[in-house]
Each structure stands twice: as C-alpha cells, then as structure tokens.
Amino acid sequence: MKFTDFFKTAKYVRASSDDLFPYIRKNFNLDAKVKSATLYISALGFCDIFLNGKKITEDLYITPHAMYNPQKPEELYINPGAFGEAYFNDELGYSVYVSKFDVSNFLSSGKNAFGLTLAGGWYYTLGDKYKNYRNFGKPAVAFRIEIEFENGDKFDVVSNSDCKWHQSYLTLAGIFHEEQDERKEIKDFANANFDDSDWENTIEVEHYDSKYILNECPPNRIISWHKPTLIKQTQTEKLYDMGFTMTGFPVVINDGVAGDTITCKYGETLDENGNLDEFHAYCQESVFVTDDRREHFLRFTWHGFRYFTVQTTGNLDAIDAKKVALTYADIKNTSTFECNLDVVNFIYNAYILTQNENYQCGVPCDCPQIERKGYTGDGQVLCELGLALFDSEKLYRKWLNDISDVQDRKTGFVHNTAPVFCSCGGGPGGWSVAIVNVPYAFYKQYGDLSILERFYPQMKKYKEFIDDEAIDNLVTIKKRKAHCLGDWNGPKKPLLPEPFCNSCMYVEALMRMIEVANILGHTEDVPVFEARIEEVKKAINATYFDESTGDYCGNEQASNAFALNIGLGDERTLKNLVNRYTELQGFDTGIFGTKYLPKILFKTGYPDLAMSLYTSQSEASYYQWMKNGETTLLEAWSNARSHNHPMFGSPVLWLFEYVLGIRQVEGNVGYKKIVINPSEVNAITNVKGSLLTPMGKVAVEYKKTDDKIDFVVTIPEGVECDFEYKGHVQTLCAGENKISL
C-alpha cells in the first residue's frame, strides 16, 4: 500500500530544530458523539502514544524495525575496512509499518488532545559497542485518527504543521542508548486543557516511496516481573543478580533528592573479583537525571543482562532496585519437551528462553545486547524450529518481507542482516540462502502457497548472483570481501573452507528450488537447477573429496555431514563420520555443522551416537554450559562473546523429529499428514513432548520398562497419521492412542 492509503492528507512531522526526541501534540474539537475511532500511526523511530492524557497501549517500541527508506552515506558510519560503497550501489526494497489502534474509548465530545513522545529506535540508532551507527534520517511520525460519529458524519485528525512540539525528557534515545533528564518531563502534555501556546509548530517531512504495510507483528511487551538479588555493595555502586540471563530493564527506586544522576550498567558475567565484567557489559548503560519521583526506568529500549549495577551522585543507601521487567515480543512457546536426561532438558529450556528473548521489534535477532540484528544466517538455520515451537507466524511473515527488502534487485545479492545493517559479516550460502530457506520453511509449516509464489523470482535472482560470483563452480564472493564466512564460530581453527560450506548449502537450496518449481508448475526450470547441482557437486568432489579415504575436508568439523546432507560421498563417508564422533564424543562444529551433524546421524540410523553429542561432557558441550550455571545458549562453545545467542539451539529440532518422532510425511505441508516414528535411543527411558501444529496439538509420550515400552500419542482431528517403531506400523485415530510394544 501507499502512504496516502493509510494517512490521506497527513504528513510526517518532526521538531523544527535539531531536537531529535520531542514531545508532539495536537488539539482538536469534536462536536458530536463518537461512534468509532481508529488511529493509524507510523513512527520513524519509536513512540509512546497518549489521548487526553491516557496512554493508549502497553505495547513497547512502536513501530517495528524495518528497512524504512534509502540512506545517504553520511547517515552511515562503519569501521574502516568494511563495505559501505557496495551497499550504496545496491537497489533494495523499503518498507514502513503502520500500527493501528482502536481509540474509540479515549475520545469525547468537545476538546481533545493527541500526544506522543518520539525516540530514535532503529531509525536513528546512535553508536553500538563498535561505534557503528546506521541512521535512516531524523525521527519523525505520521498519524491519522479516523473518526465516525453516531450521526454518520466522519472526521480525520491528521499530523501536519499545525502540530506542536517541545523538548522532551529524552537526551539520548537510540536503540543502544537511553538517557533521561526527568526534570524536563511534562507529565500532562497530552491533556486536552494543556497550554501549548509557547510550543513551536512541527515541520512537515516528505514521505519516501516505500511500501506501507499494516503492522500485524506481535508487539514487545513486559512479559513478567522479577525480583533481583543484591549481591554486593561498595562505596560507589550496588550490584544485582537476576539469577538468569534476560532482556528488559530494572525499575530503580530512589529516595534521594532531585538533580541526582543515577547510572545503571548491564552485563552477562562477573569478573574474577566479583564485579561486572566490562567485556560482557558491551557498553550497555542507562542514565537518569532525577526529579522528585521514586521510580526510574527505561522507556524506549531494553538491555541483555544477568547482572546490573546502580550508581548515583547522591546517597547510594537511598537507591534500590525492587523489580525488573522481562521484555520481548509477545510470542509464546507452544511446545513442550521433557525427558529423563537433565542436559537434554537444559538444551530445550535454554533454547526456548534464548529464542524468546531474541524475538525483538519484529525481528529474530542474533543477540539482544551487542548487535540485536536480524542476521539471516542465524535466522535461517533456526527458522524451522522457530516456526514449529512458537506462535510466531506473524513475526516470520513480517521478517520474510525484511528478507525480500534486503536483496539487491540488480545483482540478486542478499545482505547478511534483514533489515540491513552494514559491516555485518556472513556468507552467500549460510546467510544469503535465507531467501530460499525461510520461505520454504514457512510454506512447509503453514502451506501458504502465496509465499512461494512471491519468493520464487527472488530465489532465481539469488541463483544468478551465486553463479555469477562462483569461481570454478564453487560458491564464493569476488566483490564483497566481508561476505564469505562458512561454518562460523566452531571451537577450533582452522575452520572448514568457506567455499566448501557455502557450496554445500547452495546445493541444498537448489534442491529446495526444484521442489518449489514443481509445486508452482515451473517445470521448465527444473533441468537448469539439476544441471547446476551436478556442476557444483562435481566441483566439491574435485576440490574437497579424498578418493583414498572417502572423506571431505579430512572429515573435520562435520564436513562429511555437510556432504552427506546433499547426497555426496560413499559408504566410507558415513562410516568415517560415525567413527570420528564415536571417538570424539562431542561437537566440534559451528553455526551450521551443529545442525547437520545430529540430523545425519539420526537419519542414517545412529541415534545413540547422535544423542551422545547432546549429553557430551567434553569442553565443547551443552553440559559445560549447564554446569557453569548458564540459563541461555552461548555464541561459542567456550570464551563466548554473547551469552544469549540462539544459533546453537538448532539440534532441538531433532528432539521433536527423531526422539519424539513427529515428522510430516514427505511432500506434505501444514501437518495434515504426519508420521510418529521415534528413534530407538537407549539413553532415553522416558520422554514426553508436544507441538501445536496448524491442525492442532500433537503429543507423544513413552516410558520404557525392562520388557516393554508404552506409548501415548495424541493426534488432532483431520490429521492422517501412521505410527512406526521397530517394525511395528499402525494407523492412529484422532484423540489419544495407547500402544504397548
């Protein structure tokens, strides 16, 4: 849709000076009784919204992060050696989200006032930990209140130069930073009787020719409140422990005097002296210059932390933190899983918390504290899992649009984050392949054919880019140097060759494109894709396959699993893979190998070996994280930068597909036809779990005794389901099915 479809005669407005974070208000009179009123609002940044002095919603960070509009080079700063020039030659897509609220109950006949506080959000970010920033322009807002009276008349209240603005209490308000001077807060600024005669008029800003999309994405909210524990006090600060790694903000209580400055710093670990570890604090802090209120808290951003400190220029004994808000997008886990193995339960629970805390502002983020970006590598490797285990359809539908936007229309290159944030590394296989894998996973989950129809031309454009950049039919990048990572962040170096990893993942994408082409009736494209698969496979074999051993890349870091996943190798390839991990008894893999390795072992009949990876107590293991008291997943097996990173949660998918055995029948979508086929895992003696599919809840439970195994399988109405275990096959009916073998 276009801007005018939502806003008619309204305009974007902002402060008439360089004040970036103003109050904006508008008075209006209504001379009849209101029947209905709908607010449409687009904040280029974030905003809080008020009508007649009342906050209209508890939603946080309105509106979602997006690829808003083209940028100018001067609006971008990246560290030397990055790749801004290539970005500014790209032709991308641009989207702006418009939030809609029913505000009928906030209006009355006579005088009314609309007001908001505007912050930078993702539109005007300010610098991150690495001093990078990516500003789309100065924050602005457009709004229209569509009013219908009981007498049938209609009336619009719109943003234009008649709006008034004034400096707010925000002195800094980008996504990474917030500072407040509470003495400047005007608490009644949105009241109908407020005197704004000394306020200035806003200036109108022309809108860009972006796509304007109704926001249906789950909003960020305060999910729950938690009590921190004071664990240390010095002469200068108080240090608190939340007991788990979280996203959100504390509410600081102050009985001091107005004019004190309170500073909060946030981090994930403590140093050897029991103080906040500066490295794992990532420059996260918030500052409040106080007035006479008791409670002080963030309004327009969050932080990722387990520990936080409070300092003050006043009396430290007058400061305390009584409660902390856990915040993320209001997306619920709709799955369950529990078994007799503590470390496996830890993996599942830690993934759920980590993934929830990385659903932020309409994007599946890589982490909630350092970068907070929608990395396409992390997002695509987890998309099947995120779609299956959470009520995340609307978030992924929105993120699919972000992925579409960040593909260069000229070359087909897909950026490494969606929305784009330059200076972010990635690769043409593991990251850019999101243009294939995420639409494909969405279709498999929900059966929405329109997603494939929309993305198929972009998949083909991606193929053009990869083929154009390839060297000797191996996937690489010739022009964009920082864009060719492989199986990133494995526990040791050297890592696998990047062209090997990217080529294997490209072949997997082409195999999916063949399936998509057949579904959509584009059978003429299939021979082209098949021929390209054979060319790339041949190049992989010529470069990385050892004819004398049957190994790829020396059978290091799940290299044989990468190959087997696309149908390469021979009987020695699997045998050598099994022998390696029988001896190693643990992971030695990065972001993608950690997903492929257990999948191949489960799929080829080695479930006990696959489970030994989950339960390993080696240095690179989930067990070590559990032993160390972690509550979320880390970015690396050891010496991790981030302690809240979902990418190593990918093996959770196989707990559902192979341990519980819940899988869609090949060629099926939307869980209309499934099979329950649990693997025989000796270490699992009892397990129960469930998925809420588009057809309803599927649940599997089994317990082993010395002489038998008892299953309870629950199937929703309308689902065709066969049960298979150790040669026993039977068709299940809707409802509860009990099976003893």
Task: Determine contact, residues 398/449, Cβ cutoff 8 Å.
Answer: no
| Domain boundaries 222-329, corresponding CATH code | 2.60.120.260
User: What is the Cβ-side half-sphere exposure of residue 436, based on CA atoms within 13 angstroms?
Assistant: 27
Task: Determine contact, residues 663/675, Cβ cutoff 8 Å.
Answer: yes
Q: Which residue has the tokens 């509410």?
A: 251
Q: Determine which helix (DSSP H) or strand (DSSP E) holds 614, and give its type and residue range.
A: helix 607-615
Q: Give the single-character DSSP code of 283.
A: T
Q: Which residue has the tokens 């590394």?
A: 425
268-to-273, 304, 591, 645, 736 alpha-carbon distances in Å: 15, 7, 21, 12, 44
Taking the CA atoms of the chain, what radius of gyration do you get in angstroms? 27
Residues 585 and 601: their CA atoms lie apart, in Å, by 13
pLDDT recorded at residue 83: 52
The low-confidence residues of the chain, meaning pLDDT below 50, are none
Task: Determine contact, residues 67/94, Cβ cutoff 8 Å.
Answer: yes
Distance of CA 9 to the CA centre of its chain: 35
Residues 647 and 246: their CA atoms lie apart, in Å, by 17
Tell me the three state secondary structure of residue 509: helix
How does pLDDT run across 11-33, given as a tens digit for each residue? 999 999 999 999 999 999 999 99
Task: Determine contact, residues 737/713, Cβ cutoff 8 Å.
Answer: yes
Task: Note if the bond before 527 is cis, omega within 30 degrees.
Answer: no
Beta 673-676 vs 662-664: how paired, if at all?
antiparallel
- Residues β-bridged to residue 584: none
- Measured over the CA atoms of residue 457, residue 430, residue 383 and residue 524, the dihedral's sign is positive
pLDDT recorded at residue 425: 82
Amino acid sitting at position 656:
F
Q: Determine which helix (DSSP H) or strand (DSSP E) holds 363, and give its type and residue range.
A: strand 363-364
- Residues β-bridged to residue 436: none
Six-digit token string for 411? 């070359």
Neighbour tally for 203: CB within 10 Å: 16
- Residues β-bridged to residue 114: 26, 51
pLDDT recorded at residue 129: 74
**CATH fit for domain 3-217, picks 3.40.50.1110, 3.60.21.10, 2.60.40.10, 2.60.120.260:** 2.60.120.260
Task: Determine contact, residues 104/34, Cβ cutoff 8 Å.
Answer: yes
Q: Which residues have a Cβ under 8 Å from the Cβ of 313 and sit 6 or more positions away?
A: 260, 261
Candidates 709, 693, 698; CA nearest to 661 is 698
CATH class in words for 673-740? mainly beta
Q: Which residues have a Cβ under 8 Å from the Cβ of 272 and sit 6 or more positions away?
A: none
Q: Give the single-character DSSP code of 556.
A: -
- Listed in sequence order, the DSSP H helices in 410-549 are 434-446, 449-469, 498-520, 526-544
Residues 689 and 713: their CA atoms lie apart, in Å, by 10
How does pLDDT run across 535-592, given as a tens digit for each residue? 999 999 999 999 999 999 999 999 999 999 999 999 999 999 999 999 999 999 999 9
- 601 backbone dihedrals φ, ψ, rounded to 5°: -65, -45
Task: Note if the bond before 63 is cis, omega within 30 degrees.
Answer: yes
Beta 720-725 vs 709-715: how paired, if at all?
unpaired
Q: Determine which helix (DSSP H) or strand (DSSP E) holds 398, and give its type and residue range.
A: helix 393-405
Task: Determine contact, residues 547/555, Cβ cutoff 8 Å.
Answer: no
- Listed in sequence order, the DSSP H helices in 267-392 are 342-357, 376-389
Q: Give the single-character DSSP code of 87.
A: H
Candidates 289, 236, 235; CA nearest to 260 is 289
Q: Give the single-character DSSP code of 524.
A: G
Amino acid sitting at position 667:
G
Neighbour tally for 146: CB within 10 Å: 18
Domain boundaries, the chain: 3-217, 222-329, 336-659, 673-740
pTM: 0.97
pLDDT recorded at residue 414: 95
Hey, what CATH topology would domain 336-659 get? Answer: Glycosyltransferase (1.50.10)
316-to-238, 240, 254, 321 alpha-carbon distances in Å: 8, 14, 9, 12
Tell me the three state secondary structure of residue 652: helix
Measured between alpha carbons, how far apart are the two ends of the chain, in Å? 58
Q: Hey, do 222-329 and 336-659 end up sharing a CATH topology, with the first three levels equal? A: no
- Measured over the CA atoms of residue 575, residue 576, residue 580 and residue 583, the dihedral's sign is positive
Neighbour tally for 644: CB within 10 Å: 29
pLDDT recorded at residue 479: 76
Task: Determine contact, residues 654/681, Cβ cutoff 8 Å.
Answer: no
pLDDT recorded at residue 152: 96
Q: Give the single-character DSSP code of 239.
A: E
Candidates 398, 237, 385, 374; CA nearest to 313 is 237
Residues 385 and 388: their CA atoms lie apart, in Å, by 5
Q: Which residues have a Cβ under 8 Å from the Cβ of 487 and sit 6 or more positions away?
A: 430, 495, 496, 501, 557, 558, 562, 589, 590, 591, 592, 593
Q: Which residue has the tokens 């055995």?
A: 661
Classify each residue of 86-124 as buried b or exposed e, where b means 16 or more C-beta atoms within 10 Å of its C-beta. Answer: bbeebebbbbbbbbebebeebbeeeebbbbbbbbbbbbb
Amino acid sitting at position 188:
D
Q: Determine which helix (DSSP H) or strand (DSSP E) holds 611, and give its type and residue range.
A: helix 607-615
Six-digit token string for 488? 């990133």
Neighbour tally for 275: CB within 10 Å: 15
Tell me the three state secondary structure of residue 11: coil
Six-digit token string for 678? 């649990």
